[in-house]
Amino acid sequence: MDARLDFFGSALGAKVLRHVNSAGRAVSESGLPHATQELVKIRASQINGCGFCTDMHTKDAAHAGETAQRLHLVAAWREATVFTEAERAALELTEQGTRVADASGGVTDEAWAEAARHYDEDQLVALVSLIAVINTYNRINVINRQPAGDYRPGQFG
């Protein structure tokens, strides 16, 4: 499978990605726990069917020490006992924030309140921003049919 276009090699694509990457870097440097960040990126990528991002973030999480058990259970996190209450709140917010077109009213007050119970204001800003950023990456890669499977941890810096 080949990508539809060389988005990464395009001057305009590179410019767009620099801005998205800058937003992503601000989130990664925030006080939101790194493990939570990777779980959020994996779950949104699974929902959106983005093989490229799912490949990248599962490999990055494993490289950072995440367990195989937790990685395998991200898609079924509601039934899994291996996630903290805070991670579960972040995953719920991720699902609702990713599936906004599927639910009238968007993110529920209950999901927001649960996330706010576990994260301070800066962490909530980071979490909301991360959900938006990973959804942006997912959409670029899904539309472009970016192939998955060849990513190496740290490949993009």
pLDDT of 8 > 90? The answer is no
pLDDT of 1 > 90? The answer is no
CB proximity list for 125: less than 8 A, separation 6 or greater: 30
Q: What is the pLDDT of residues 93-129, one digit of tens each?
A: 999 999 998 877 889 999 999 999 999 999 999 999 9
Q: What is the pLDDT of residue 66?
A: 97
| pTM listed for this prediction | 0.95
Mean pLDDT for 45-50 is 98
Q: What is the pLDDT of residue 26?
A: 97
Q: What is the pLDDT of residues 9-45, one digit of tens each?
A: 999 999 999 999 999 999 999 999 999 999 999 999 9
Calculate the dihedral angle through the C-alpha atoms of 46, 48, 52, 56, rounding to the nearest 10 degrees. Answer: -40
> Alpha helices, DSSP H only, in 5-99?
11-28, 34-48, 51-63, 68-73, 85-98
